[in-house]
Structure 1
């Protein structure tokens, strides 16, 4: 790039000099013709020309005029290049001072223009890198704050109950047993949070290797739904299952896919108690080579500004950091990581009285895996069911 730029600048200088010389010769010729015409009807001008010719000679005067005109034309023709170089230098100074919003005038159609484009692109890349670094620092700060809060709450409870036991501040064995049970439950909550942190770290930083096998997502969805029947009954809820008529074969890691469904259904139970129903749906889209799984609950909608961050780690909606809802704000982040590992996408759709989480998975072997053959199979035989 440097050699090309230097060569291009040298050629531009040479060509500009040649063009300036040609224009200077032409201009001198025109001036000589004009001077001859003017000498006929301007006697003082003729006297001046005769004096210069007698003192210096005709050709030296012509040479001086030609050289002067050459410099004039060179300065005039090189102005666009000089102005562009000055703009590039000014932009470099702005970047050095930390201002990365630099612009340049109309692009030069040569290596110099490419240099300007590269400078602007570099400034934008530096700005983007700094922005990402600030976001990463902010995310780390939020992570530390959230972890500290979520670990401290159950840990404080455990220490409080153990202190009551240690100081014999209980009336009888029943109350002692109550304190022990409460400390045990808080300790389990603490362990669940630590397990979630570990799982989130593994799914975020390549700690998981997918082992895709051919599975029937309809059977998997129904199986996971049945496992949640006790939790649904305890919450006063039920589930409704909608499956496609055709049989779908999906290549995915069944353990991780179960984790996705568990997190989404748990989230629906946690925030959709008032709606009384968790809706589960599987939709096959063979034309798009994709399968969609939806988990929906009825209740208060999620504000639009929260939808953009709902899959971020440790993010929970307004008022959700309470004992009633619980959770560490990692479930949906884990869902997103696992779905992304499978080459799919997940999104949240919040309507007036209904919130839907939609997982879209490609039919075929997830990218970057070695297990399972590619392709997919859709065949008739599985009737649509509701449960």
Structure 2
């Protein structure tokens, strides 16, 4: 019952507020009229000025014409209306301003802001409308960004699917039409088509996995993992790649045991992507460093390469899908263009954080993961 009364209080207040204003105006008008009457009577009796005497006499003459006290009713009504108009003018002006601003917003001007010189509920209403419009404006901006992202994704996927597919169709058509010279050339064309098919399969699988991660439909099978041991195994298993690319992998592991709760398979994929990326774009520097350390309750892993720096303009987008730094636009590297985006999503699925910094000395990918409290 109390809640119902409390909920109806604002309605009752707005229903009776004009009546209260009117009663107040009438009361004030009656007081003013009484003061004016007494003041005029006193001046009439004591004043030596003819215009005051003349004014009072003329007023009495009007009074006689209007059947006595009717003139007081007229004056009372005029004063009351003037006071009521003054009291309600500011509120009415704010309401009109509010209506005009809302109409402008309704016509599509979402940058318009309602600014009222009021401290009451109308001001509160204006602030609420401003907040709603600001949220709508942000939603509109986000929708435009999402639409642009979707368009870019479709464009990039179409391009990246079409490139290997065109090669596959081209070489298979040569084989189908028996346009190869001998068995050696046939095997060569078949090998190229097979490699392009693997690239196509990699792209499709990576795209599928990334979509599942971003839609939060990928589950983690977490176990306790010694991060230092995991990184040591990855470095050891990548030794052939390092030698083939003429790069030396240097490990600088901390003595601390970095025990975390993680999905080993997905975490291996994330660090393999970072190491592969470091080799691909940093092999000119001849060294790849894998560094670990502990800070408070956080395990920090750094993958460092000493190749060409990533331009500052590209750094904020390095984890975007299909984003290519200018120097790495060539798609003959066999990658899907989704490696770093997948890595970022895997780290974030583990409630971790990944960042990148780059200058003319080195490029550092830093991963932070929460340690498991044993």
Query: 2: CA distance between counterparts of 1:147 and 1:228?
Result: 29
2:350 matched to 1:345? no
1:26 matched to 2:26? The reply is no
Instruction: Report the counterpart of residue 371 of structure 1 in structure 2.
Output: none
Give the aligned partner of residue 3 of structure 2.
none
Alignment equivalent of 2:317, drawn from 301, 305, 309: 309
Is 1:300 the counterpart of 2:308 in the alignment? yes
Residue 158 of structure 1 deviates from its aligned partner by: 1.2
1:97 shift after superposition: 1.0
Inter-partner Cα distance in structure 1 for 2:89 and 2:363: 63
Sort the Cα spacing of 1:162 and 1:69 in 2 relative to 1 into closer, same or farther, 3 A.
same
Kept in 2: contact 1:5–1:112 (CA 8 A): no
Query: How many angstroms apart in 2 are the aligned matches of 1:122 and 1:322?
Result: 46
Match of 2:335 among 282, 305, 327: 327
1:8 Cα deviation from its structure 2 partner: 3.9
Cα distance change, pair 3–327 in 1 and its aligned pair in 2 (3 A): farther
Q: Following superposition, which runs of at least 4 residues in structure 1 exceed 6 angstroms of deviation? A: none
CA distance in 2, matches of 1:25, 1:304: 76
State the SS of the aligned residue for 2:313.
helix
Is 1:361 the counterpart of 2:369? The answer is yes
Contact 2:199 2:336 survives alignment (8 Å): no
Structure 2 distance, partners of 1:110, 1:122, is 19
Correspondence for 1:244: 254
Distance 1:61 1:259 in 2: 96
Q: Which has the higher contact order (CA 8 A, sep 6+)?
A: 1
> SS at the partner of 1:250?
strand
Q: Aligned with 1:280: secondary structure?
A: strand
Equivalent residue for 1:155, pick from 162, 165, 190? 165
Q: What per-residue deviation string (whole Å, max 9, x for no partner) do you get for residues 9-54 of structure 1?
A: 2243233223323332333234334433554322321221221232
Structure 1, 217-226 or 28-37: larger mean CA deviation? 28-37
Deviations 1:160-197 (A, max 9, x none): 21122223332322222211111111111111111111
**1:91 match:** 101
- Relative to structure 1, the CA distance from residue 167 to residue 111 in structure 2 (aligned partners, 3 Å threshold; closer, same or farther) is same
Are 2:20 and 1:15 aligned? yes
**Counterpart for residue 193 of structure 2:** 183
User: Structure 2: which 5+ residue stretches go unaligned?
Assistant: 1-5
Q: Tell me, yes or no, if structure 1 residue 261 matches structure 2 residue 271.
A: yes
Give the CA deviation at 1:324.
4.8
Is the Cα contact below 8 Å between 1:4 and 1:111 reproduced in 2? no
Residues 38 and 45 in structure 1, CA contact (< 8 A), matched pair in contact too: no
- In 2: Cα distance, 1:339 partner to 1:101 partner: 38
Report the 3-state secondary structure (helix = DSSP H, G, I; strand = E; otherwise coil) of the residue aligned with 2:143.
Answer: helix
Moved more, 110-119 or 245-254: 110-119
- Taking the TM superposition and a 5 Å limit, the aligned residue runs for 1:1-387 are 6-36=11-41, 39=44, 40=47, 41=49, 42=51, 43-56=53-66, 59-106=69-116, 108-286=118-296, 289-364=297-372, 376-377=373-374
Cα root mean square deviation, aligned: 2.2
Would the aligned equivalents of 2:222 and 2:264 in 1 still touch at CA under 8 Å? yes
Call closer, same or farther: CA 1:7–1:280 in 2, change over 3 Å: farther
Deviations 1:60-86 (A, max 9, x none): 323322221221111111122212212
Q: Find the residue that maps to 2:14 and give its secondary structure.
A: helix
Deviations 1:282-325 (A, max 9, x none): 12112xx2222221212222223322222222222224221354
C-alpha distance in 1, partners of 2:334/2:107? 48
Pair member with larger Rg: 2
**Alignment: residue pair count:** 364
